[in-house]
């Protein structure tokens, strides 16, 4: 599979209580991590015509990421989320009417071709025209779909989830999201396969990656095969911001390289744990990514 996934969704600034602003947004975090692994993600998003937007573009170029898919909204500011952290667990206040709500269909980017998969985050699906853009990409790109569910109230509905999940080749979500969407309780990785089967019946998904916080993770393939991995404790624990995105990126790297399911999920939980030693989801320290460089 080509190592250039097409990634569509939000980029934003995670604003922490101490005033520090860190680049974020699940799709952007995934793309950043993949670039750290040596892959060539194409990020399709929108930033504002403001200082934050210019900073994002500069940081992407410095990191070696293509900016060809980054649009500039003429009317909306760059995405912003106010992050608070209690006992290492983050809470998010996602501000409305942001540039990532204004993503238009990327005709020129698609004309280049060469993409291996389409990664779709769920937050940018909250508003038009981004929602229509994502719908068109899912329907018209012809790419296998990796769906990353992040339930963020009030910007998420079960109808939205159904549209995103339908016929997904890969789905990544946490145990609480899996329980909510399937109606089957899921507290541990060992309980995930039963809930996954219910979700598969509803939406015809193929492969699933389920995170369960400190309990580890579970992967279920389209044949019903399973793999489990325990999560190593972060040393030191700083916060869990971006841990799920780190997990998703490592899963994409494993899928792209054709790694066995068990190896993929072991690498994913290890990298997610390592990300918990950072403040925020990303870093420019190349050594952070060394274990998964392709």
Angle at which helix 192-203 crosses helix 158-165, to 10 degrees, equals 80
pLDDT in tens, the chain (294 residues): 778 999 999 999 988 888 888 899 999 999 999 999 999 999 999 999 999 999 999 999 999 999 999 999 999 999 999 988 887 677 888 999 999 999 999 999 999 889 999 999 899 999 999 999 999 999 999 999 999 998 888 888 888 999 999 999 999 999 999 999 999 999 999 999 999 999 999 999 999 999 999 899 999 999 999 999 998 888 888 878 788 999 999 999 999 999 999 999 999 999 999 988 887 778 888 888 987 766
**Phi/psi of residue 209, nearest 5 degrees:** -120, 120
Which pLDDT does position 259 carry in this prediction?
94
Which pLDDT does position 282 carry in this prediction?
82
Report the alpha-carbon distance of residue 292 to residue 58 in Å, rounded: 25
Q: Are 171 and 207 in contact (CB under 8 A)?
A: yes
Q: Which of 247, 254, 256, 210 is nearest to 117 (CA)?
A: 256
Whether the CA torsion 208, 240, 281, 130 is positive or negative: it is positive
For tokens 């602003």, what's the residue? Answer: 21
Q: For the domain 6-292, what is the CATH superfamily, name and number?
A: Ribokinase (3.40.1190.20)
Report the alpha-carbon distance of residue 36 to residue 54 in Å, rounded: 21
Which pLDDT does position 285 carry in this prediction?
87
């Amino acid at each position: 599979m080509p190592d250039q996934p097409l990634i569509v969704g939000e980029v934003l600034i995670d604003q922490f209580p101490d005033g520090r602003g860190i680049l974020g947004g699940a799709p952007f975090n995934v793309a950043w991590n993949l670039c750290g692994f040596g892959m060539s993600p194409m990020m399709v998003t929108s930033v504002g015509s403001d200082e934050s937007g210019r900073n994002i573009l500069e940081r992407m170029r410095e990191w070696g990421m293509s900016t060809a898919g980054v649009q500039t909204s003429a009317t909306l500011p760059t995405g912003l989320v106010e992050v608070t952290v209690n006992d290492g667990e983050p809470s998010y206040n996602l501000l409305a009417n942001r540039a990532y709500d204004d993503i238009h269909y990327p005709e020129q980017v698609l004309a280049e071709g060469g993409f291996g998969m389409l990664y779709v985050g769920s937050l940018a699906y909250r508003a038009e025209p981004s929602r229509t853009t994502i719908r068109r990409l899912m329907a018209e790109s012809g790419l296998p779909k990796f769906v990353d569910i992040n339930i963020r109230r009030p910007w998420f509905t079960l109808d939205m989830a159904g549209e995103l999940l339908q016929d997904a080749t890969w789905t990544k979500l946490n145990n609480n999201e899996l329980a909510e969407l399937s109606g089957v309780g899921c507290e541990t990785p060992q309980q995930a396969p039963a809930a996954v089967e219910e979700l598969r019946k509803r939406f015809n998904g193929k492969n699933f990656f389920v995170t369960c916080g400190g309990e580890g993770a579970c992967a279920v393939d389209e044949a019903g095969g399973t793999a489990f991995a325990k999560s190593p404790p972060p040393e030191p624990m700083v916060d869990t911001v971006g841990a799920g995105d780190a997990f998703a990126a490592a899963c994409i790297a494993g899928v792209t390289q054709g790694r066995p399911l068990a190896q993929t999920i072991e690498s994913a939980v290890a990298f997610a744990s390592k990300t918990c030693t950072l403040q925020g989801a990303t870093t420019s320290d190349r050594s952070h990514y060394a274990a998964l460089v392709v």
